[in-house]
C-alpha cells in the first residue's frame, strides 16, 4: 500500500477518509500554542459552498512555491498542516492551530520561530453517488495525475513571507485568491493522436460522466487502399473516414464496427458523415454490435 511508505502525519495532511469509515484523528499531545492561521477563499474566484482539504504550507525558502516543497522525506520537506472543510463558504475562516496535525513536525507548537514563506491550497472534493449505493467525497483527477498542488480547479494563495512564532499570540490570515487553470491538451501531430472518450462502465460506477484518454501512434498511410476496417477510437470514426477517403480506390470498401442506427452520439455523427459523402453507398448490418459497410462507386471523386 502506498501510504505504508510514508509517515502517517504526511498522509494525514493530504488525505481525509470519509467519516463513516474512519474516526477523526486525535490532536497532537502537548500542542498548545496561542498562534493560529485563518484561511478563507475569495468568492469571486470560485463560488461556494465547497468541500475539500485545506493544506497550509510553511517553507524556509520561497523558491519554488511552498506548495511544491511538501515531500514525504522529512529532511527535504516544507512544513505542512491539513484540515477538512465541508460546505465551506467564501469569507468563512478555516482555522489551523495547535490541534492540527502536521508534517514533518506534528505540532505547530514545535515549529521553530522564524521568517517563513507561507501558502495555502484547497484540494477540492466532489460528491459521488456510486453504483454500489455508497456516497463518497473525493478529489477527482483533472488530468494532472492526482497532484493536488497542480490540480485544475484547486484554489491557492499567493505566497507571502511572514514571521511565525508559536510562542506569540496572533492569527495569520491567508486568502485563497487564485485558481489553478485547466490543462491544455497536447496538439495532434502527423503520427500522434490524443484521444478522449467517455467510459460507459466508469460513468455508471461513479454516477457521473467519466472520460479516459489515450495517446495513439498512427502510422503514415500512403495508399491507395481497396479495403479499410475501423474498430477503435470510436470518437475518431469521422476523422478516420476523412483521412482515408482520398486514399480509397474506386470500388473500395470502408467498414466500421459497432455502428448501428440504434445508437446516438458518435455513431449518429459518423452515419451522417457517411450518408453525406458523395459517391459512397452505405449499408448497415444491425445484427450483434452493428457494422457499417460503405462502397465507393467507380468514378466518384
pLDDT in tens, 250-268: 999 999 999 999 888 889 9
pLDDT at 78 over 80: yes
pLDDT score of 13: 59
Question: Which tops the pLDDT comparison, 223 or 166?
Answer: 166
Please state, in angstroms and rounded to a whole number, the distance separating the CA atoms of residues 57 and 67.
6
> 31: pLDDT confidence band, cut at 50, 70 and 90?
low
pLDDT score of 1: 28
> 27: pLDDT confidence band, cut at 50, 70 and 90?
low
Domains of the chain by residue range: 2-179, 192-296
pLDDT at 16 over 60: no
Average pLDDT over residues 6-30: 46
What is the CATH code of the structural domain delimited by 192-296? 3.40.50.150
> 15: pLDDT confidence band, cut at 50, 70 and 90?
low
pLDDT score of 221: 72
pLDDT score of 19: 35
pLDDT score of 182: 94
Average pLDDT over residues 229-239: 86
For residues 156 and 176, is the Cβ–Cβ distance under 8 A?
yes
- As a whole number, the mean pLDDT across the chain is 87
pLDDT at 26 over 60: no
> 293: pLDDT confidence band, cut at 50, 70 and 90?
very high
Q: Which of 6-20, 37-51, 65-79, 117-131 has the lowest mean pLDDT?
A: 6-20
pLDDT score of 12: 57
Average pLDDT over residues 267-275: 93
pLDDT score of 262: 87
Give the strand pairing for 35-41 and 170-176. parallel
Q: Whose grid coordinates read 474512519?
A: 22
pLDDT at 11 over 70: no
pLDDT at 42 over 80: yes
> 300: pLDDT confidence band, cut at 50, 70 and 90?
low
Q: In this predicted model, what pLDDT tens digit does every residue of 138-160 receive, in sequence order?
A: 999 988 889 999 999 999 999 99
Q: CB within 8 A of 97, min separation 6: which ones?
A: 33, 35, 36, 37, 108
Amino acid at each position: 500500500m502506498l501510504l505504508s511508505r510514508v509517515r502517517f502525519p504526511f498522509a494525514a495532511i493530504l488525505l481525509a477518509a470519509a467519516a463513516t469509515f474512519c474516526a477523526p484523528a486525535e490532536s497532537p499531545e502537548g500542542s498548545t500554542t496561542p498562534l493560529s492561521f485563518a484561511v478563507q477563499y475569495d468568492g469571486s474566484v470560485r463560488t461556494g459552498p465547497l468541500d475539500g482539504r485545506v493544506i497550509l504550507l510553511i517553507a524556509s525558502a520561497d523558491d519554488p512555491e511552498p506548495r511544491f516543497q511538501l515531500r514525504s522525506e522529512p529532511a527535504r520537506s516544507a512544513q505542512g498542516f491539513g484540515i477538512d472543510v465541508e460546505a465551506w463558504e467564501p469569507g468563512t475562516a478555516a482555522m489551523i492551530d495547535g490541534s492540527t496535525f502536521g508534517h514533518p513536525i506534528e505540532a505547530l507548537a514545535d515549529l521553530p520561530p522564524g521568517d517563513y514563506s507561507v501558502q495555502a491550497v484547497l484540494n477540492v472534493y466532489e460528491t459521488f453517488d456510486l453504483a454500489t449505493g455508497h456516497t463518497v467525497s473525493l478529489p477527482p483527477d483533472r488530468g494532472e495525475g492526482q497532484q493536488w498542488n497542480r490540480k485544475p480547479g484547486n484554489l491557492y494563495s499567493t505566497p507571502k513571507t511572514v514571521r511565525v512564532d508559536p510562542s506569540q499570540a496572533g492569527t495569520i490570515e491567508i486568502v485563497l485568491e487564485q485558481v489553478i487553470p485547466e490543462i491544455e491538451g497536447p496538439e495532434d501531430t502527423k503520427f500522434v493522436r490524443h484521444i478522449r472518450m467517455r467510459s460507459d462502465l466508469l460513468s455508471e460506477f461513479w454516477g457521473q460522466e467519466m472520460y479516459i484518454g489515450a495517446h495513439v501512434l498512427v502510422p503514415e498511410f500512403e495508399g491507395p487502399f481497396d479495403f479499410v476496417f475501423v474498430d477503435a477510437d470510436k470518437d475518431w470514426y469521422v476523422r478516420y473516414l476523412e483521412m482515408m477517403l482520398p486514399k480509397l480506390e474506386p470500388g473500395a470498401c470502408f467498414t466500421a464496427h459497432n455502428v448501428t442506427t440504434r445508437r446516438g452520439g458518435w455513431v449518429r455523427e459518423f452515419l451522417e458523415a457517411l450518408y453525406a459523402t458523395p459517391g459512397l453507398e452505405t449499408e448497415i448490418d444491425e445484427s450483434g454490435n452493428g457494422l457499417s459497410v460503405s462502397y465507393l462507386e467507380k468514378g466518384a471523386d
